[in-house]
Chain A
Amino acid sequence: MAIKPRVPVREQPVEQRIHNFDSVPYGYNEEEAMAEAQRCIQCPDPPTCEAGCPVRIKIKDMNRLIAEGKFKEAYLLVKKAHAFPACTGRVCPQEDQCEGACILTKVGQPINIGKLEAFVADWAREHGVEEEGITEEREEKVAIIGSGPAGLACAADLRKFGFKVTIFETLHKPGGVLVYGIPNFRLPKEIVEYEINKLIEMGVEIKLNITIGQNISFEELKRDYDAIFLGTGAGAPQFMGIEGEKLNGVYSANEFLIRANLMKAYLFPEWDTPISVGKRVGVIGAGNVAMDAARTALRLGAEEVYIIYRRKMEYSPARNEEIEHAREEGIIFKELVNPVRFIGDENGWVKGVELIKMELGEKDSSGRPRPVPIKGSEFVMELDTVIEALGTVPNRLFLSRTPGLKTDRKGVIQVDDNLMTSIEGVFGGGDAISGAATVIKALGEGRRAAEAIKEYIDSKKKK
């Protein structure tokens, strides 16, 4: 049986999009979505695609409903699995999850599950589809620390169970990485805002500008709430720790993206926060964060943007779509090189990087070949902005002020099978318990934790 190719996703033309921060994919319209969903061969149960989805969305049924034009039903079905399909449809690493597991990969292109999921969510938003409300109001109060996907997902379910839910967030806008990290051209901010407003309408209270451990102590929260969920993420940047890192013009990707996204530095000077982007920008690393930083730098006016990666791009943890988009936009990939030191000018600004060539050796713990430096292969590359995208670790501010909370060496919070931490009644999920992972994992754990919290509160009540 010949399998039709995927229905292509319309996108903003390259020449145009490198000058703005608007969404790159336009997404499917109704006809396109139906045509793409009709490609699904409705595999016998259990379909392989669903096993690839961390929250087990009923993908097969979703596809069938979309194929029949039953978009509302498709949306309500997806919403049963998790709260933010408009986000995951756009940012999940689908090739490693649902789409990678779709049977059609064996004979052709898998169903574009991500774009279909985003389509139903966008359709529901545009058509104002409402979900069922809260069944019964309950007296117990739950505090959620952090308004990233983990915290939001946990809040949504706990509220549906009837609890009084308060989210505490350090920043002046809720959303975590969805708002401060992932750029608008990948995940339009109005989508996240819409979902968060839904939560507020449901009665979730969001207290911004409050850092637990700093402005309000963890002990106070424990006193005032029946249970606590830690969705504090892994927001602190790691630096290479090499010579020249103190130079001006050297950024962490976190700072660069927070300036650009949360503070809207791309709208400077209408918005007040500045950002500094030279003509030649080097981004160290090749994950999603690196792609976002590189493409942001390009849109902010850089002439040449390099991804500097110590392995080969085939081992990059970034989503295929991002690598593809970056390539189309003219990002230059420098593979098998690693920075040794940054070089500064007489005013203390970075003017280049000394790189050493690498070769691939034995497989390491990540299953990828370990990059090994080639002695004597050092060379200098001129750059006037450096962005380090080396991954993040949990923020030690919170950890250092939460006695009794068990973490590993890096500060990753330890939890049991029920997502309960070493402190009774305190649960965790998302990047805070895994170092740094994915949006869907955070959403899934937020939901699982909500269940566990309900059980915990119910069992305490019985006693």
Chain B
Amino acid sequence: MAHKITRKMDLNSEDFYVEVEAPLVAERFRAGNFVVLITVPHGERIPMSIMKAEDGKISMFIKKLGKTSWELYKSLDQFEHVIGPMGKPIDVKKYGRVVVASDLVCGHAENYALCKALKEAGNYVISFQTFPTAEEVYPEEVLARPVCDEYHLTTEDGSKGEEGHYLDILEEMLESGEKIDIIFAGGSLPNLKELGDLTKDYNIPTIVTVRQIMVDASGMCGACRVFVDGEMQLACIDGPMFDAHKIDWDAALRRPMMYVEQEKIAYERCKKLGRC
């Protein structure tokens, strides 16, 4: 049952790339889907975005964050389970001029997948990828440049590409009257909230990934509940992408903090065992 890791490489000082055999997922993946990983037999069920799915393999970008991701980076050459594709794919159709934006690991993976699907559907796709500095920019081969029509690489300190966060550049674009029909974005939750605040004034539909802690990822536990337009929705089956203008952001920003203490314990233990 094990899924073999066929490629692993550093993307920057924090993130790495993993390609793994998962034929069923690869065959059925659609932009907006995610997978659930169980890396080791006693592991957690960890949701992960997919960058691309080809030849029976899927590629992911993963941040070295806690126990699971560090152990995966340092010690594993296979996964116990790769489950999916889960979640609702986006509605891939012709919208017109589409922006896809990201500023963090999970967002960057989706950026590629979303651009590719939306471009194939005949949209004019403008991709933004923001990194902190030139050193932290991912290798060219995994950026969304080849799968979009207009590419904006930005660094927050201006050391490579355009200077600033995609939020700044997008704001200028909107101010200058450039027409955008819809925006898809993923990455840092606080920034996605800000994006929603910005685009609301311009009335641009804005669909963002609301990354929440998940357990079963199939609608059975309620851990991933988000409140959209006052209604309870489950990120794992109704999402993970929702309308940024309708999300209860306070709750969504708070939930991922549930296990901060325990995560530290798990990581420290794994480090002591020499696996992280």
A→B interface (CB under 8 Å): 170-172, 180, 208-211, 214-215, 235-237, 239, 241, 246-249, 252, 254-255, 258-259, 262-264, 267-276, 347-348, 395-397
Chain B residues, Cβ within 8 Å of A258: 215-216, 220-221
Chain A nearest CB from B226 CB (Å) reads 9
- A395: nearest residue on chain B (CB-CB)? B219
Chain B residues, Cβ within 8 Å of A396: 219, 237
A269/B215 in contact, CB under 8 A: no
* Residue B44 interfacial (CB < 8 Å): yes
B44/A273 in contact, CB under 8 A: yes
Chain B nearest CB from A98 CB (Å) reads 31
Chain B nearest CB from A397 CB (Å) reads 5
30 pairs, A vs B, C-beta closer than 8 Å:
A170-B218, A172-B45, A208-B81, A209-B81, A214-B85, A235-B219, A235-B220, A237-B220, A237-B221, A237-B222, A239-B222, A239-B225, A246-B250, A248-B257, A252-B222, A255-B222, A255-B223, A258-B215, A258-B220, A259-B215, A267-B42, A272-B40, A272-B42, A274-B263, A274-B266, A276-B258, A347-B254, A348-B257, A395-B218, A397-B219
Q: How far is the CA of A261 from the CA of B176 in the complex (A)?
A: 56
B250/A348 in contact, CB under 8 A: yes
A236/B219 in contact, CB under 8 A: yes
Interface set, chain B 40-54, CB cutoff 8 A to A:
40, 42-45
Q: How far is the CA of A235 from the CA of B217 in the complex (A)?
A: 12
Partner of B220, one of A208, A274, A395: A395
Q: How far is the CA of A172 from the CA of B84 in the complex (A)?
A: 11
Chain B nearest CB from A428 CB (Å) reads 18
Partner of B227, one of A246, A259, A276, A347: A246
Size of B's binding interface in residues, CB under 8 A: 43
Chain A nearest CB from B250 CB (Å) reads 7
B→A interface (CB under 8 Å): 24-25, 28, 38, 40, 42-45, 67-68, 80-86, 215-216, 218-223, 225, 227, 232, 237, 248, 250-251, 254-255, 257-259, 262-263, 265-266, 269
Chain B residues, Cβ within 8 Å of A252: 221-223
- A181: nearest residue on chain B (CB-CB)? B220
Given that A237-B222, A248-B258, A271-B42 are known contacts, is A215 also in contact with B265, CB under 8 Å in the complex? no
Q: How far is the CA of A270 from the CA of B222 in the complex (A)?
A: 25
Partner of A254, one of B67, B68, B221, B266: B221
B254/A348 in contact, CB under 8 A: yes
- A255: nearest residue on chain B (CB-CB)? B221
Q: List 4 A-B pairs, minimum CB-CB distance, nearest first.
A: A274-B262, A255-B221, A246-B251, A252-B222
Chain A residues, Cβ within 8 Å of B257: 248, 348
Given that A272-B44, A273-B44 are known contacts, is A215 also in contact with B255, CB under 8 Å in the complex? no
Chain B nearest CB from A411 CB (Å) reads 11
Chain A residues, Cβ within 8 Å of B254: 246-248, 347-348
- Residue of A208, A241, A246 contacting most chain B CB atoms (<10 Å): A246
A246/B216 in contact, CB under 8 A: no
A170/B216 in contact, CB under 8 A: yes
Chain B residues, Cβ within 8 Å of A254: 220-222
Chain A nearest CB from B213 CB (Å) reads 10
- B81: nearest residue on chain A (CB-CB)? A172
Chain B residues, Cβ within 8 Å of A215: 24-25, 28, 84-85
A269/B258 in contact, CB under 8 A: no
Q: How far is the CA of A252 from the CA of B223 in the complex (A)?
A: 8
- B67: nearest residue on chain A (CB-CB)? A272
Q: How far is the CA of A404 from the CA of B248 in the complex (A)?
A: 34
B222/A246 in contact, CB under 8 A: no
- Residue of B45, B82, B257 contacting most chain A CB atoms (<10 Å): B45
Partner of A276, one of B42, B222, B262: B262
- A248: nearest residue on chain B (CB-CB)? B258
Chain A residues, Cβ within 8 Å of B68: 272
Not counting A214-B218, A252-B222, a sample of 18 additional A-B residue pairs whose C-beta atoms are within 8 angstroms of each other reads: A170-B218, A170-B220, A172-B38, A208-B81, A214-B86, A215-B28, A235-B219, A246-B227, A246-B254, A248-B258, A254-B221, A255-B215, A258-B215, A258-B220, A272-B40, A272-B42, A276-B262, A396-B237
A263/B45 in contact, CB under 8 A: yes
Q: How far is the CA of A272 from the CA of B84 in the complex (A)?
A: 20
Chain A nearest CB from B66 CB (Å) reads 9
- A273: nearest residue on chain B (CB-CB)? B44
Chain A nearest CB from B62 CB (Å) reads 15
Q: How far is the CA of A46 from the CA of B161 in the complex (A)?
A: 86
Chain A residues, Cβ within 8 Å of B86: 211, 214
Q: How far is the CA of A241 from the CA of B83 in the complex (A)?
A: 31
Chain B nearest CB from A218 CB (Å) reads 14
- Residue of A211, A214, A255 contacting most chain B CB atoms (<10 Å): A214
Chain A residues, Cβ within 8 Å of B232: 239, 241
Q: How far is the CA of A210 from the CA of B84 in the complex (A)?
A: 7
Chain A residues, Cβ within 8 Å of B222: 236-237, 239, 252, 254-255
B266/A268 in contact, CB under 8 A: yes
Chain B residues, Cβ within 8 Å of A262: 216
B219/A264 in contact, CB under 8 A: no
Partner of A236, one of B220, B255, B269: B220
Q: How far is the CA of A275 from the CA of B216 in the complex (A)?
A: 14
Chain A nearest CB from B7 CB (Å) reads 22
B265/A269 in contact, CB under 8 A: yes
- B87: nearest residue on chain A (CB-CB)? A214
B259/A274 in contact, CB under 8 A: yes
Chain B residues, Cβ within 8 Å of A239: 222, 225, 232
Chain A residues, Cβ within 8 Å of B83: 172, 209
Chain B nearest CB from A133 CB (Å) reads 27
- B24: nearest residue on chain A (CB-CB)? A215
- B1: nearest residue on chain A (CB-CB)? A208
Chain B residues, Cβ within 8 Å of A208: 81
A268/B218 in contact, CB under 8 A: no
Q: How far is the CA of A170 from the CA of B216 in the complex (A)?
A: 9
Q: How far is the CA of A308 from the CA of B35 in the complex (A)?
A: 37
